[in-house]
């Protein structure tokens, strides 16, 4: 053993006091040293009043959790190594054999796959409901329903549901009180407040109550990261007992997040609202422009009139609520002329130069992705016109440059049709 080993570890240098940077330090650690055995025995891994083991929290993770709770208007937060891990943890923590989970037909695809594979293997059933029809959800609720997923808007096809109406039918269901979990990646805590969606209509003589979801899950991979460089997820709650259930499963599954990744997100959070607004403005401009092109049969952008669920977006995101300012994420889809050959759709995506072909969104680089809806939806949608779906995630480039890119790629694909 090198004679310096101990000296290197127990070095007398101490960081000077008085370095009062507002930046959260990157605290790394699996092991946390206890002063003595009594201190070790007193420490509760569930409490934020002390530290037990790196997986259960560090000053860096606790700081990020606090900020995300504030962002979403909740009180407690658990971090996960990806958005999908956060979604899976909610199901694992809350469901047992014999239970049923309800998911919107346009739910984030991998959440569907989890229900159809692991959950089904463990004796947990699932059903898909029509997100644009609260009565359809109401008809599917039963005493077996333990968990209802909500997503606003739905993945890829972007239909904006009547979130308040969906929450209300679940709260009024008397045979069971399912837990309501929202995938709030699109809203990001900025477009609307998931724990304060609005007032119930106060049926009969009962006074109106404030309605909200029980759990808000957020893929921090998207806007909070903002760089397309970090994978992380969070689950925010207001109720402490529910938080502790999520946290217990988080502990038993061994989900951990890296301190440097937390720091990256902590560094990006202060600019998130600005980025979100800029990406929203560009996306609306481009979606409107695309809507006027002859090859585009429908634009799917919840904040544009004519898109499925536009009235619901308007009611929720332009409502009276505090901190609600008519925002939408920089994400939209279009349906291209069904007469186009599928090879023309691929050629359109390939011809784009600034829009790169890739999954995810929320980063500085604009992205494009063609989707084949066949097999992605179980229920027939009357809201969508026939056509080839292409989704765009708008980054932070100059909108005029993005529009020119779209124009040259459309012209290129049209030329292919005439060959
Ligand atoms: C990206 C995304 C997720 C999953 O996040 P990852 O960090 O990529 O696992 C979940 N839900 C929605 C709506 C997403 O867009």
93 and 179 share one domain = yes
Last-in-domain residue among 266, 295, 322: 266
Per-residue pLDDT of the chain (419 residues; tens, 9 = 90+): 666 778 877 888 777 788 888 888 899 999 999 999 999 999 999 888 889 999 999 999 999 999 999 999 999 999 999 999 999 999 999 999 999 999 999 999 999 999 999 999 999 999 999 999 999 999 999 999 999 999 999 999 999 999 999 999 999 999 889 999 999 999 999 999 999 999 887 666 778 889 999 999 999 999 999 999 999 999 999 999 999 999 999 999 999 999 999 999 999 999 999 999 999 999 999 999 999 999 999 999 999 999 999 999 999 999 765 556 899 999 999 999 999 999 999 999 999 999 999 999 999 999 999 999 888 888 877 889 999 999 999 999 999 999 999 999 999 988 887 66
Looking at the fold, whether 261 and 282 belong to one and the same domain comes out as: no
- Domain range spanning residue 381? 271-418
Do 313 and 409 belong together in one domain?
yes
Ligand 1: does its nearest atom lie under 6 Å from the Cβ of 187? no
Question: Ligand 1 pocket, 233 CB below 6 A?
Answer: yes
Domain assignment present for 231: yes
Q: Quick check: CB of 149 below 6 Å from ligand 1?
A: no
Whether residues 115 and 155 fall in one domain: yes
Pair 23, 64 in one domain: yes
Residue 202 is assigned to a structural domain of this protein = yes
Looking at the fold, whether 261 and 278 belong to one and the same domain comes out as: no
Report the 10 Å Cβ neighbour count for 251. 15
Question: Quick check: CB of 183 below 6 Å from ligand 1?
Answer: yes
Question: 3-state SS of 302-371?
Answer: CCCCCCCCHHHHHHHHCCCCCCCCCCCCCEEEEEECCCCCHHHHHHHHHHCCCCEECCCCCCCCCEEEEE
Examine residue 22 and state whether it is found in any structural domain, yes or no: yes
On whether residue 193 sits in a domain, the answer given is yes
- How far is Cα 217 from Cα 238, in angstroms, rounded to an integer? 13
Query: How many CA atoms lie less than 13 Å away from 340 in the CB half-sphere?
Result: 26
Name the nearest CA neighbour of 23 among 265, 235, 221, 256: 265
Does residue 34 fall inside a structural domain?
no
Q: Which of 221, 236, 266 is where one domain is finished?
A: 266
Whether residue 248 sits in one domain with residue 325:
no
The residue contributing the CA closest to ligand 1 atom 15 is: 185
Please indicate, yes or no, whether residues 113 and 262 belong to a single structural domain of this protein: yes
CA-only gyration radius of the chain, Å: 24
Whether 36 is covered by a domain: the verdict is no
Q: Among residues 215, 174, 179, which one has the least CA distance to residue 99?
A: 179
Rounded Cα distance between 297 and 291, Å, is 7
User: Within a domain: residue 104?
Assistant: yes
What CATH number has the domain bearing residue 223?
3.40.640.10
**Total of domains in the chain:** 2
Nearest to 308 by CA among 131, 149, 112: 131
Are 363 and 313 within one domain? yes
Check whether residue 243 and residue 306 sit in a common domain. Answer: no
Evaluate whether residue 393 is within a structural domain.
yes
Looking at the chain, the number of H-run helices and the number of E-run strands are 14, 14
pTM for this prediction: 0.95
| Rounded Cα distance, 388 and 281, in Å | 25
**How far apart are the CA of 83 and the centre of ligand 1, in A?**
5
In terms of residues, how long is the chain? 419
**Ligand 1 atom at minimum distance from 87 CA:** 10
Cβ 83 under 6 angstroms from ligand 1: yes
- Give Dmax (Cα) for the chain: 81
Last residue in a domain, options 243, 266, 289: 266
Please tell me whether residues 335 and 245 are part of one structural domain.
no
């Amino acid at each position: 053993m090198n004679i310096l080993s101990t000296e290197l570890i127990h070095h007398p240098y101490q960081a000077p006091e008085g370095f009062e940077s507002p930046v959260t330090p990157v605290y790394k650690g699996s092991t946390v040293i206890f002063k003595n055995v009594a201190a070790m025995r007193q420490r509760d891994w569930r409490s934020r009043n002390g530290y037990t083991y790196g997986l259960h929290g560090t000053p860096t993770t606790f700081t990020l959790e606090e900020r995300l709770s504030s962002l979403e208007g909740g009180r407690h937060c658990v971090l996960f190594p990806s958005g999908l891990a956060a979604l899976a943890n909610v199901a694992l923590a809350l469901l047992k054999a014999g239970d049923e989970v309800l998911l919107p037909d346009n739910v984030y695809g991998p959440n569907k796959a989890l229900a159809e594979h692991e959950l089904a293997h463990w004796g947990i059933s699932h059903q898909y409901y029509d997100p644009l029809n609260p009565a359809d959800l109401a008809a599917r609720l039963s005493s077996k329903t333990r968990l209802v997923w909500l997503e606003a808007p739905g993945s890829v096809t972007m239909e904006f549901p009547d979130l308040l109406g969906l929450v209300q039918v679940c709260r009024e269901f008397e045979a069971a009180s399912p837990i309501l979990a929202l995938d709030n990646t699109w809203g990001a805590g900025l477009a609307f407040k998931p724990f304060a969606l609005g007032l119930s209509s106060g049926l009969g003589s009962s006074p109106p109550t404030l309605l909200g979801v029980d759990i808000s899950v957020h893929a921090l991979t998207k806007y909070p990261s903002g760089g397309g460089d970090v994978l992380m997820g969070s689950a925010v709650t207001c109720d402490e007992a529910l938080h502790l259930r999520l946290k217990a499963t988080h502990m038993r599954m061994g989900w951990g997040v890296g301190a440097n990744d937390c720091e990256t997100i902590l560094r990006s959070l202060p600019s998130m609202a600005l980025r979100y607004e800029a990406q929203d403005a560009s996306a609306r401009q481009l979606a409107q422009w695309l809507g006027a092109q002859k090859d585009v049969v429908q634009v799917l952008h919840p904040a544009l009139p004519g898109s499925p669920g536009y009235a619901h977006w308007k009611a929720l995101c332009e409502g009276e609520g505090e901190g609600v300012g008519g925002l939408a994420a920089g994400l939209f889809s279009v349906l291209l002329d069904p007469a186009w050959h599928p090879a023309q759709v691929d050629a359109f995506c390939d011809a784009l130069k600034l829009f790169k072909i890739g999954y995810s969104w929320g980063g500085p680089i604009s992205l494009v992705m063609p989707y084949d809806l066949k097999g992605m939806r179980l229920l027939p949608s009357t809201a969508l016109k026939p056509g080839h779906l292409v989704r765009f995630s708008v980054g932070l480039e100059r909108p005029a440059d993005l529009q020119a890119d779209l124009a040259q790629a459309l012209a290129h694909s049209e030329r292919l049709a005439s060959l």
